[in-house]
Amino acid sequence: MTELSQGALAAEPGQTTDDHQQHPLKVYFIVWGWLFVLSACSYFVDYVGFQGLLRWTLILLFMMAKASLIVAFFMHLKWERQSLSWAMLLPPVAVLAFVGIIIFEASYTLMTREVYFDISNVPGF
């Protein structure tokens, strides 16, 4: 407990004045272990040589699992108040809209290059 909550006059037992993120070490070791396992898994996706949709699905799956574990447990977001969690997790979702725009743009660029570029005449390509 912080000296603040100790000094609080009417501090009730369940009151969230505690700024400290202290949790049993066991939780961290389990998460740590899983991060190693998931990293090994994503490495083996490349080692085994999966291709196509299966490869992309597995890469994204292991990536999101690792990222979630780090954010939830190591960065303590699981134990923070939801007002903080949502403020930090929702804005990055907007990047997905940006991804959509760039996919549209990149496809258009590729199309113009395929139609108008004779690669053999362009130095550096």
Q: Is 18 in the site for other proteins (CB under 8 A)?
A: yes
Q: Is 1 in the site for other proteins (CB under 8 A)?
A: no
| Least spacing, CB of residue 30 vs other proteins, in Å | 11
Q: Is 121 in the site for other proteins (CB under 8 A)?
A: no
Q: Is 56 in the site for other proteins (CB under 8 A)?
A: yes
| Least spacing, CB of residue 20 vs other proteins, in Å | 5
Task: List the one residue from 19, 26, 53, 120 that touches other proteins (CB under 8 A).
Answer: 19
Count, residues in the chain: 125
The CA distance from 109 to 105, in Å, is 6
Q: Is 21 in the site for other proteins (CB under 8 A)?
A: yes
Instruction: Judge contact between 104 and 97, C-beta under 8 A.
Output: no
| Least spacing, CB of residue 86 vs other proteins, in Å | 6
**Tokens linked to 27:** 């939780």
Instruction: Judge contact between 38 and 62, C-beta under 8 A.
Output: yes
The CA distance from 62 to 122, in Å, is 40
